Structure 1
């Protein structure tokens, strides 16, 4: 069979690819460039070389053993010439993607998990360089770019030293009209395509009698209800000393403004406010920007942010510094900022904000304080009742100790997170996690021991030291492992829905993927097992005590069952039901019952002790070895033991 030469195959592939891209435009200009590939480099130091200038000639992407070079005449306004070090993972290959948007005059490079902005977005210019077609091929090499592709279409699988793209100059206004028409056509055909609206620009002349000015987004197609509105304060005139002109640029196409973080996203418009050749900051009266957007449900938080380019001008870094989120409505957000740069709304996709955080914090603090006192009283009670030959006493004592430790740490976790710092907070978080696992373990021991009392009446209970090892030593194992791994415990931010710029700090597992995985592997499984076993235990207890005449006559029997449900951890299962139409109600009930669990534990023992005394006075009691055994054994079993 006749084989086609490799060079001819690559040439045909390139021709077909270019023809396909030209046909895709259907007579219109192909808008942007998305070129990607794998850089085959050495193991030594790496660098990025940038040499961009204005014009419309060509764009070259080349690579060798130690550097990746992006150069050419392609921009309308951007000029850049830099050599920057690249700190990439210790591999000999690195994937990269280069994006070019002529309407925004923006170029962005993704490499090694970083998004580098080589040319910042600007408003619509006079001339745009577009229709970038593939130029002549560079020779093969040992180091260079392999699997070069345009919009996921592979050009060649060989390692090439460089790729060249030839541009064509066109009026930016004409290109913008074509982009708008193409977007409207796709909408009519029902195709899923993001709108690509051109940036709009407004200029404001601040005269001597300047008393503030309101600017509405001039972007074509933006209605009064959806346009961004900027209010410039009079203080801006005093801050701008060299010029009296303010330039405002409105960007609706925000896909190149994203940070690359899957947890957050830029919402709708981005507004740039500048005064030529001046840095404006710390305004005594803030600039107010009202963003109108689609309705955001309360399960997602949002905050006003500005682009900070001080530390790393190549990377998009949205910060809250200098901006406050005000007048948050369902479909609009007002930002008040004291400086000039790019502004937008950043939506936090996870974790979701907590509603009524202040009220929940107050309930939790009160409940933890009461529970600590209650558990301490229980510990003293059990220590003084050493003469009682009750098998359950060590288990009750272990649960009281673990719950007291848990509530004590949780009561101070907010204070320690704000005062102590990251290092101490790491150990406090580890201790809090250990106390939680220990409490869950002791609740599980309670369930197992109750089953033992009900179904193995004449079999001795396991020794006390076994319970101590299971309840106090076993929970320490996963905590020690997670602490040794590092990055699991630290300061956690809990975002309130009513004030997203002021999160509540606590010492707990961080928001990293490793910490989330540790949470699902340690806390969730034991909670599910505890809830299921507690539910089964409630059913067994109810079935055992329902036929008893003395229980049916006692009005506090139900209170005892409810106390058992709190004791065996079924209230923790409410945390798994935080969805549906009543999430706030479930959250308040769960928070109240779990934070007051130490008090409910003390109340249960008080009620059982009172019931034992009542039964003794009525002649129904006996000298049983434990309260649980006394109330759960059938009458004939008690007679046999006597």
Structure 2
């Protein structure tokens, strides 16, 4: 009989690991030890574990205060609790009434601060205000649908008004996501006031991704239309470059063709990753890996564009390298290949690529998904954010060099300086360079500022239609080059076909020669 009883206890204990409610025999744990006990195995759902234990744990008084853990008997006349961090929890009389049972008429309010790293969704990480999430429990019952909501007050230390009060919605599998359902937000100069009709894990999100679902739909349509047009126009650009290469073999032409090719592959893989995200895990994993490779290849070729511009503007006369195109091609295509191979090897142990939820606001709602990197941690930050940051830093410096060179050129030549038409053409050339150097990608670092919604629209439009802009820029250069073949301008080198960088460079070089 004793062996049978032990076996039953073992079976019930297993339910704790699987995320189900723990058995009665396991409720003898002290409430102040629940958080540390559940954090010992972070591979399991820590919020689910804490939620299960906190409702029926043993209220044992501790001699010394436990950091981040607070409790209060709700039998007194002031149903509120204030933490050392300045968070104030007000419990409504309706919540107290619902928390009472036949066995116990007075309930204990438990408040615990849990590290926000345990509350991560499959989509991009949320910006949680502060370092912790506030967990609130009142008795053993689940309290919800309150007509008189509970109130939580967070100190507004940075005067940020673009916030939203949310709670952590737990599903049956122990996973969860942030939701604003049942919570309202009121911002004052000193506090964030959250009024919610239930009790759960609460937090304040600074600058939520997009507050309204209609913006998600609009951004999706912009992305799809822009990517489809970019596919058509980048394919046209590649064909035009190849036709020009039959007569001319400038390195700039080949580099631009490679950039257009990488953009073509990027937009094709982007649409495929969206449309086939509901297929099998193997298909989505493959598409996510290829999309990652195409994105890194695009970043690499924009960096090569910046490097080639450096040779033309800074090195000028000493720009010959043996097998130059072969070397830069190996770098631009090889670095992304090695990176995704390493990520693929890591993926055998931890799932790196797969279905990635872009938008997941409410349960049973239509979600926007894509085959992409699922582990938004070191892999994503280093290979995408870090790599893009280095590329944009270098290319921004090169744009600054172009501006300085053009300013010096105009200050030395009065005739060109007074020519407004020539100045307008220079600015058009700069806009073309911004497109080639991938400057619009830098907007990705500003999508979490207070005005993130306009920035998101700008980022989506500029990068989705980048192939169209590249085509227009190349078409303008082609017409300009053909015109200069018949009417060579004075003070510039007569060239048959040149990129924007070479036009600027030859103007600078010719002016230097004439001055000497």
TM-score, normalising length from structure 1? 0.56
- Structure 2 match to 1:408: 268
Is residue 2:475 matched to residue 1:603?
A: no
Contact between 1:413 and 1:506, CA under 8 Å: does it hold in 2?
yes
Is residue 2:384 matched to residue 1:523?
A: yes
- Structure 2 match to 1:17: none
- Structure 1 match to 2:442: 573
- Cα deviation digits, residues 541-585 of structure 1 (max 9, x gap): 233334265674333331221110121122222221234442222
Contact between 1:183 and 1:195, CA under 8 Å: does it hold in 2?
no
Contact between 2:167 and 2:202, CA under 8 Å: does it hold in 1?
yes
Q: CA 1:454–1:480 in structure 2 vs 1: closer, same or farther (change >3 Å)? A: same
- For 1:100, which of 2, 10, 30 is the aligned residue? 30
How far, CA to CA, are the matches of 2:105 and 2:369 in structure 1? 37
Of structures 1 and 2, the one scoring higher in RCO (CA 8 A, sep 6+) is: 2
- How far the C-alpha of 1:529 sits from its partner, in A, is 2.3
- How far the C-alpha of 1:638 sits from its partner, in A, is 8.2
- Structure 2 match to 1:561: 430
- For 1:634, which of 503, 507, 513 is the aligned residue? 507
- For 2:209, which of 334, 353, 365 is the aligned residue? 353
Contact between 1:301 and 1:349, CA under 8 Å: does it hold in 2?
yes
Unaligned runs of 5+ in 1: 1-48, 53-66, 68-78, 89-95, 134-148, 153-174, 201-215, 221-226, 229-244, 275-286, 312-316, 336-342
Q: CA 1:453–1:333 in structure 2 vs 1: closer, same or farther (change >3 Å)? A: same
Is residue 2:419 matched to residue 1:543?
A: no
Is residue 2:306 matched to residue 1:447?
A: yes
- Structure 1 match to 2:124: none
Q: CA 1:289–1:631 in structure 2 vs 1: closer, same or farther (change >3 Å)? A: same
How far, CA to CA, are the matches of 1:611 and 1:107 in structure 2? 69
- How far the C-alpha of 1:470 sits from its partner, in A, is 1.5
Residues 360-371 of structure 1 correspond to what in structure 2 (within 5 A)?
A: 360-371=219-230
Bigger CA radius of gyration: 1
How far, CA to CA, are the matches of 1:478 and 1:614 in structure 2? 44
- Structure 2 match to 1:429: 288
TM-score, normalising length from structure 2? 0.68
Residues 213-252 of structure 1 correspond to what in structure 2 (within 5 A)?
A: 217-219=94-96, 252=109
Residues 34-113 of structure 1 correspond to what in structure 2 (within 5 A)?
A: 84=13, 99-101=29-31, 110=38, 111-113=40-42
How far, CA to CA, are the matches of 1:406 and 1:467 in structure 2? 20
- Structure 1 match to 2:337: 476
Q: CA 1:421–1:536 in structure 2 vs 1: closer, same or farther (change >3 Å)? A: same
- Structure 2 match to 1:623: 495
- Structure 2 match to 1:507: 371
Contact between 1:429 and 1:489, CA under 8 Å: does it hold in 2?
yes
- How far the C-alpha of 1:299 sits from its partner, in A, is 5.3
How far, CA to CA, are the matches of 1:86 and 1:499 in structure 2? 24
Secondary structure, in 3 states, of the residue corresponding to 1:490? strand
- Cα deviation digits, residues 108-140 of structure 1 (max 9, x gap): 95454456579866699xxx985699xxxxxxx
- How far the C-alpha of 1:289 sits from its partner, in A, is 5.5
Contact between 1:434 and 1:476, CA under 8 Å: does it hold in 2?
yes
- How far the C-alpha of 1:366 sits from its partner, in A, is 1.7
Higher-strand-fraction structure: 1
Is residue 2:247 matched to residue 1:387?
A: yes
Contact between 1:301 and 1:500, CA under 8 Å: does it hold in 2?
no
Higher-helix-fraction structure: 2
How far, CA to CA, are the matches of 1:196 and 1:561 in structure 2? 55
Q: CA 1:640–1:318 in structure 2 vs 1: closer, same or farther (change >3 Å)? A: closer
- Cα deviation digits, residues 188-236 of structure 1 (max 9, x gap): xx855888999x9xxxxxxxxxxxxxxx72528xxxxxx99xxxxxxxx
Is residue 2:326 matched to residue 1:465?
A: yes
How far, CA to CA, are the matches of 2:281 and 2:295 in structure 1? 21
Is residue 2:484 matched to residue 1:612?
A: no
Contact between 2:274 and 2:370, CA under 8 Å: does it hold in 1?
yes
Secondary structure, in 3 states, of the residue corresponding to 2:96? coil
- Structure 1 match to 2:232: 373
Contact between 1:413 and 1:428, CA under 8 Å: does it hold in 2?
yes
- Structure 2 match to 1:15: none
Q: CA 1:298–1:431 in structure 2 vs 1: closer, same or farther (change >3 Å)? A: farther
**Number of aligned pairs?**
443
How far, CA to CA, are the matches of 2:454 and 2:261 in structure 1? 30
- How far the C-alpha of 1:452 sits from its partner, in A, is 1.4
- Structure 2 match to 1:93: none
